[in-house]
Chain A
């Protein structure tokens, strides 16, 4: 049943004195505010709070408060909520002044980092003390950002909930799944920001505009009743003959609503229909009728409101606000079409496609933007794109952009360091992919690639963050660490990327200690090493003679750093070809060369020292000369017996699990 709820209480007094503060805390909050400013928000007064002075200065909102002026000296909170909190306390008077006299405030914040998680609860506390009606829009971090950040976020959320009248949480994991699965990171985040800013704006409109059937704060509150809940929000605007239907369709299409499916489970749904003077009762009826198809009206209470606004002209707007209860329920609940986010359109990898058949296969958010390469001319650079995504997640999502420190330290280093394992697979596939790439993509060889990502990173860093002048050092420091993976993994097929990013964190840790432990790692996992080398061989040979010649010509030690990371990626399936250990080991060393040496030649000099000291450890049982000989010998062998693709040599390759199906299975098996 439709309920006309016309309660007087807790309404905001109408008219001119109604004023709203919209406060963005931290980097993510500022992004939403920027988005709102961009779209032109007449009623709300925007206020940005941040610790990082450079991020603050780039913000377009007219009011800004720098947190922790003396404590942090314009740097970010570095992922430490305590610093964020202290910073907020330092500026508490300014915050209080800025809130004074307002009836209502919205706080947008991205939780998980330092400024957001630390300062936002303080801001809320101040607002509460000032008697402001407070609605908080909080973004939860991606799950790949690690448990610690999630814990920080939840803790902050809990405190925020204590002070605020309503909390609306947006789950970044869901953003990744639902918003434009294939579009670039920029668009994805822009869309996420847009949804949040739309939500704020619509909420503001609903409660502030005079309505024929008025919706008050109480309705809004009951629609959002369950704390910790997932907010369902949809907004649609349309004009023309069929505007009622179109606007509703648009509203239901909102990713947060999941095409109206989610409404089924909500207990309160707030619907607001707004339009110009031309809006007819019939149109409202139409909207409500259509909507009721998605709502189980026996269980669900519909809070309905409507109002006219001359500014809307011929437009008709439909706003749907609701929430799903159950704090756990909102996480990782893949929607029916979730798997589509998985689709990797790039190389024909039947394996991926087939995952579509399992409707609930986990769609990892980070890899769902394969189209990312719009920025890069490199076609198969899945890995580098992942690196970028992480980069930008870091920058866009986390409120404190200045987390360069965090980048190097514990929580964040996980995603960064995880890459090593894919690297290797990258390496070996790179060898034959290079040739294929030459066919399929504009990139002839991987030489230019390393340079690209590097530039990319710097851009990423510079653009959204805008570091303080005091920050150059940390930025540099992070370069070598980030860069390495990017360089090496420039050519990786999508499958290899996905797995490691999500689950291999602990294994890849050793990579941090690049220097010393290499030899020992290598020893212990010798079997594994050889096996993976076998793989490498197999795949490497898929190509024709060309790369091998280069190899033989240049058997320097640069390839070393990749060796120690081999074991983790293939651990478990060892001891198949122990017998050929020595030989194949050497061969594989030589095989690694062209990719790496050409790559490292292009990398910032800072990264070189590491590799060059490593090789001394590794070939314990083989001198350089021996390796040379072995490489040359092997090369001859290769020329005699190439792994040919025969008549399929020029066709689009069919690659499953990184194996080229066009090469006779018989031969591939024998290589194993």
Chain B
């Protein structure tokens, strides 16, 4: 049996009295596009931060690409790419320079470096903007650059935290297409978080719906829709069914500020 790309067992993170991620157990197959779905504050970002080794879990454990996220952090870091929700491209450098630095940090061999950077720029449709400062990019271009940056070393698992937040529908569509094409070309497993139901619908093979730190339902979007016994149910309705809540609850002041700020920057 192939090793799952991500395997978590009772992964838990508390911040003081708040349990942000509560006993998360899930398994993602190699080559899947897997969506963590839920409102702000559901625990999606905290879960991702643990999986990419930024945040130590309070209890439970997990492996990414077969390596333990606590005991084998360097191996995990070699195997993954990560695009945080916040702006992570450097505006004071050109697109080319942003990628070149990360190619070096990820040990891309010197002989392949320039080729890989050029390929990544071409793949993301950024050839023409390569030598411009990122400060002058549009929101959609910045997102595509950030994804290009995270895929330079051909990671086995790519983590995208709210990849299309603050983007207009056209830019969002472009990002979806690139993610799908990237998976097809490199057989990379993609794990993304989103609170856009249509994004999960369009992109994900399987989703897990999170609410207040717990997974309340998981399966393929079609199966989840079927499970609530309603013809043509939307994922929105699935979410409401499982959480008894509308998609409007979440987020602290800090989350809101951060989301708006990100939206303003990239928008």
Question: Do A and B assemble together?
Answer: no
Chain A interface residues (CB < 8 Å from chain B):
none
Chain B interface residues (CB < 8 Å from chain A):
none
